[in-house]
Amino acid sequence: MSLAIVLSRAQNGLAADLVTVEVHLAPGLPGLNIVGLPEASVREAKDRVRAAIANSGYRFPIQRITCNLAPADLPKDGSRFDLAIALGILAASQQIPVDALSSLEILGELSLSGELRPVRGVLPAALQAGQAGRGLLVPTTNHAEAALATNCPVHVADTLGGLCATLHGNTLHALDAPTPVSTATSAEVDDLADVRGQALARRALEIAAAGGHSLLLIGPPGGGKSMLARRLPGILPPLRDDEALEIAAVASIGGGFDPKHWAQRPFRAPHHTASGVALVGGGTHPKPGEITLAHHGVLFLDELPEFDRRVLEVLREPLETGTITISRAARQADFPARFQLIAAMNPCPCGHLGDIAGQCRCTPDQVARYRARISGPLLDRIDLQLFVPRVAPAQLSGRAGPATGESSATVRARVVAARHRQLERQGRPNAQLGTRELERLAMPNDEGLQLLDAAMQRLALSARGYHRVLRVARTLADLANAPAVGAVEIGEALRYRQASLPQGGS
């Protein structure tokens, strides 16, 4: 047989497109030619494959070898096709039986010695292989990741030589899928009990967690803004299985999948020097950015005004839609971006405006220019905005009352109960409610409507701001287990709508 066909998968965003690896042997000048729009890393596979086959005790055919990666118009990159090409060559030269490969899709990088190395994007490939009714053959180091796709039989191998021996003996069997378990301990999770004082900020954090709302913390240095933000994941509700699988798939294509972090919400905190591409994703071959890596988790932007304004503006659409589309001339990729934005900033350039421990010397113009780095449309998309003052020494030492507040476990129990009410009622968190759903589920009583109408005039709320107040009010009602939204919930939601910031003085 001079023709062999092996199946594999290419990575295209979160999709894993089927690739048919066709290997043909013919008389002529010896050499291996790879066609089908391969990138440089794929073209280099011929040297890795030649050495791996020879070092595994098999004969590399001294013939003209043509390897076609179909479809030809789909760009192929990476080293994921090495093993499929090698097995195709061995099958075409009748050195291994080809029947065992007909029901498998194959991924894996080859070392020169024939050892199999892990590749990225295995989980999306396993999910789609399972949907197609086929198994997946991967390096052993990729087994835990591929096994998360419970609909796909997973086969593993350590070396090319060992795999070929298994094929000869017809002993290739799928391994049992291990049960994914997070190994994170409670000591590794930041506890809300560590925060001293800041009762209002703790309340805002609980509301944000319960409804999936975005939050902006404004205050002087040392007030605990970053400390509060890093404790948000510890009070968020547990992930559903489908959400955990989406997070694992994103981490897989990002190259950062770790089975120890299964079912943990991601927490991403990019530095303020990050570019727009770093945040939303991109590249010649589109890759996920920070907003996608924070999917179903938290994106924390510390020192918000220090980010380039054009970089921050790219967050506006994903905050509304929960997705991001990266378009390039040759291809397009859609990535999920249902993240929870938590941002922190100082009230002025020196940071001491409104600080009880320091005197601010920023002029009103300097303060205005500093705050203008954050555009109005972006601020309008942030549900909760709160001033976080410096904690008094008496509160830090415990002389003014208990040194610690409620633990994350206590707060999380209330958050889980509130989120459960939302999922039972509308199937999604309140932050994702549409306009019609708000009119049906979050419309306040007469007193609440009067208060909201007055606030619309006084605060000059936009239509978006109006709807975000209703979403927060609905979450407050859920936390209180109230059947409807009233004036109390509207009043508290309005309190968080625009932070009461001090003005520059000198």
User: Which tens digits make up the pLDDT trace of 455-476?
Assistant: 888 888 888 889 999 999 999 9
Phi, psi of 85 (to 5 degrees): -65, -45
- Quick one: which of 493, 486, 489 has its CA closest to 459? 493
Let me know: does 342 contact 298? Beta carbons within 8 Å: yes
The Cα–Cα gap between 35 and 75 comes to 11
d(CA 8, CA 297) in angstroms, rounded, equals 31
Gap between the Cα atoms of 18 and 174, Å rounded: 21
CA pseudo-torsion sign 125, 127, 132, 137: positive
pLDDT at 186: 47
The closest alpha carbon to 419, from 220, 199, 208, belongs to 208
Domain with CATH 3.30.230.10 in the chain: 3-168
430-458 tens-digit pLDDT: 999 999 999 999 999 999 999 998 888 88
Q: Residue 129 in contact with residue 105, Cβ under 8 Å?
A: yes
Tell which residue, 148, 128, 92, has the closest CA to residue 8.
128
Centre a 10 Å sphere on the Cβ of residue 186 and count the other Cβ atoms it contains: 9
Collapsed DSSP state (helix, strand, coil) of residue 164: helix
- Lookup result for tokens 């003014």: 400
Instruction: Say how far apart CA 445 and CA 436 lie, in whole Å.
Output: 17
Q: Closest Cα to residue 6, out of 17, 16, 15, 19?
A: 19
Segment 287-297 shows an average pLDDT of 94
Mean pLDDT of the chain: 89
The tokens describing 11, both together, are: 């990575």
Residues of the chain with CATH 3.40.50.300: 186-405
**pLDDT-derived band at 503, boundaries 50, 70, 90:** low
Tens of pLDDT, residues 120-165:
999 999 999 999 999 999 999 999 899 999 889 999 999 999 999 9
**In contact, 347 and 26? CB cutoff 8 Å:** no
Helix axes 463-479, 487-495, angle to 10 degrees: 120
In CATH, what class is 3-168?
alpha beta
The strand pairing partners of 35, in sequence order, are 68
- pLDDT of amino acid 175: 73
Query: Using one digit for the tens of pLDDT, what is the confidence trace for 347-397?
Result: 999 888 877 766 788 888 999 999 999 999 999 999 999 999 888 766 666
Mode of pairing for the β-strands spanning 215-218 and 267-268:
unpaired
Report the candidate in 478, 481, 475, 485 with the shortest Cα–Cα distance to residue 444. 485
> What angle do the packed helices 408-426 and 199-211 form, to 10 degrees?
30
Cβ atoms of residues 121 and 254 within 8 Å = no
3-state secondary structure of 217: strand
CA end-to-end span of the chain = 87
* Predicted confidence (pLDDT) at residue 402 exceeds the cutoff of 70: no
Cβ-Cβ contacts under 8 Å for 263 (sequence gap 6 or more)? 180, 182, 238, 239, 244
Q: What are phi and psi of 15, to 5 degrees?
A: -85, 155
The mean pLDDT value for 262-288 works out to 90
pLDDT at 427 over 80: yes
Predicted TM-score (pTM) of this structure: 0.89
Residue whose entry in the numeric block shows the structure tokens 């191998």: 157
Q: What does the block give as tokens for 129?
A: 């292989």
Question: Quick one: which H or E segment has residue 424?
Answer: helix 408-426
SS3 (DSSP) at 500: coil
Taking the C-alpha atoms of residue 332 and residue 81, their distance in angstroms, rounded to an integer, is 22
- The enclosing H or E element of 165 equals helix 160-168
Size (the chain), residues: 506
Tens digits of residue pLDDT in 127-137: 999 999 999 99
Question: What angle, 0 to 180 degrees and rounded to 10, lies between the N-to-C axes of helices 160-168 and 82-92?
Answer: 40
pLDDT exceeds 80 at position 409? yes
- Which residue, among 53, 139, 134, 121, has the nearest Cα to 88 in the 3D structure? 53
**Fold classified for 186-405:** Rossmann fold (3.40.50)
Which helix (H) or strand (E) segment is 325 a member of? Answer: strand 323-327
In this structure, how many other beta carbons lie within 10 angstroms of the beta carbon of residue 170?
A: 10
